[in-house]
Amino acid sequence: MSKEPKDPKTIGYLPDETPPFWKLILYALQQIIVMFPATILVALLTGFHLATTIFASGFATIGFILVTKRKIPLYYGSSFSYLSAIIGLTGGVAFGEVLPDSAISGVQFGIIASGLVSIVAGIIVSRFGRKSIEKVLPPTVTGPIAMVIGLTLAANALGDAAPVAGAAGITGTNWVWIVSLVTLVATILFSVYLKGFLGQIPLLLGPIVGCITAGIVLLITKESMFRALPAAAMAGTQIISGVLAVPHFTLPRVDWVALAAIMPIAIATIPESTAHVFQLDIYVNDLAKKKGTGKTYDIGDRLGSNLFGDGLGDILASLFGGPAGTNYGENISTMAITKVFSTAVLITAAIIAMILSFFSPVVNVIYSIPQAVIGGIEIFLFGAIAAQGIAIMIDRKCDMFDARNIAVIAVIMIIGIGGQYKFGGMIPFFGIQVPCIAGAAIAGILLNLLLSIGRKKEEEKAE
């Protein structure tokens, strides 16, 4: 395994490269910062134990990277796709409250079943190869799906950045805009203008500047934007000392209702995982080309392995009492921006996350980061996810003047984005609630297959 980039003119780390130790730690902390908000929010919304969720995300990430033979650099975090099913099963809890063990155990069984679905899908994809799956999921489907994933998160980013009175960490004054905009601009300037190592940690430096700004605002106005973690969120942890606490683990129990409600959701997450793999394939090989390594990374051909790893991640996370998850677009955006794709960095981030789950004061400190700071970097990260969808279509030279391509892209974009902003992410359809991204993906896949009928014969005649 190579240790340092061979070409000093191009800064970045490929999946099989390992940064020096002190850089490794800082890169890993950056990955933790971008995954942390969404991962813990799922726990706070669904009633899962917070420390357990953080531990499970790290453990599942290590399992994913090892089972994919360290070929696919992805971080596993809690998924929002399962929210409605879990809340529907359990009846939900107040923000930050924790579910009874019996309720969590039943949900665990359903999550494990959904993991098995992803594993079976991975085996099927590996058996039939990339070309066969691209007939179902061409770049005109995966590209718009990636764009929808980023754009449907736009309201979350601005909601965190905007001055909405009463929200956690939001003061309701225009000072919150100062913090979020300073964070955003600082992060962008760092990513564009800093060179060398500092240019690879803009998503660590930007939030630091944002927190300093929030501290200055506190001194000037006496208005604190720093948040306090709900006490109930750490319920169940076994206190060993003043700072050390063991996460509360639960075991799954057979619950066929939970299985029926949760297992099918895995099918809807496959297009999202596909988009993530193709995004990585483009950016990793672009870096390899610019570094002149002469290597080609076959990440795009490892979709089956990715789905297998994603399913294993669900199983590993749920064995301990963590919620269902997926590989995170936020972490992919971080890698694309910083050009650090090292799997060693992600393994380190996972280990650090697992260690942090045992130190409740550290969890509290990370949670205390002002929501405006989080919103500032989310504007950048979520927009980058959407931009990566465009990159997929550009890289694959999609014909944007072709009527079929326009139709597929248009339908995916409108259903996905419209479903988010009209129906809050869950589209009512014949008595069921369909997640907008899943609905957009299914519609796009079906429309693409329908419009492909007879197309091969026409192309052969044209040749």
Residue in the block written with tokens 């492909």: 452
The tokens describing 3, both together, are 């240790």
Answer for the pair 227, 369: CB distance below 8 angstroms, yes or no: yes
Query: How many helices and strands (H and E) does the chain possess?
Result: 18, 6
Query: CA distances (Å), 440 to each of 157, 269, 387, 423, 436, in order?
Result: 21, 11, 18, 13, 6
The tokens describing 445, both together, are 């896949």
Would you list the domain boundaries of the chain? 21-398
Helices within 222-264 (DSSP H only): 256-262
Cα(first)–Cα(last) distance of the chain, in Å? 46
Alpha-carbon span 238 to 26, nearest angstrom? 29
CA-angle at 47, arms to 246 and 324, nearest 5°: 85
The pLDDT assigned to 172 comes to 59
Question: What is the DSSP annotation of 381-441?
Answer: HHHHHHHHHHHHHHHTT--TT-HHHHHHHHHHHHHHHHHHHHHTTEEEETTEEEEHHHHHH
Answer for the pair 300, 277: CB distance below 8 angstroms, yes or no: yes
Taking alpha carbons only, the member of 459, 371, 308 closest to residue 169 is: 371
The pLDDT assigned to 462 comes to 44
AA letter at 451: L
Q: Chain-centre distance of CA 166, in angstroms?
A: 27
Answer for the pair 299, 72: CB distance below 8 angstroms, yes or no: yes
Answer for the pair 264, 433: CB distance below 8 angstroms, yes or no: no
Where are any strands of DSSP class E within 46-100? 76-78
The pLDDT assigned to 405 comes to 94
Answer for the pair 213, 178: CB distance below 8 angstroms, yes or no: yes
* pTM for the full predicted model: 0.77
Size of the chain in residues = 463
Helices within 295-370 (DSSP H only): 303-320, 329-338, 343-356, 360-367
- What contacts 134, CB < 8 A, 6 or more positions away? none
Answer for the pair 26, 204: CB distance below 8 angstroms, yes or no: yes
With H, G, I as helix, E, B as strand and everything else as coil, classify residue 340.
strand
Q: How many CA atoms lie within 13 A of 218 on its CB side?
A: 13
Query: CA distances (Å), 161 to each of 150, 153, 337, 386, in order?
Result: 16, 13, 21, 19
Answer for the pair 41, 345: CB distance below 8 angstroms, yes or no: no
Query: Which residues in the chain come in under a pLDDT of 70?
Result: 1-9, 84, 94-96, 130, 163-172, 232-239, 241-242, 264, 268, 455-463
Strand 76-78 with 325-327, pairing: antiparallel
The pLDDT assigned to 84 comes to 65
Sign of CA dihedral 391, 396, 397, 402: negative
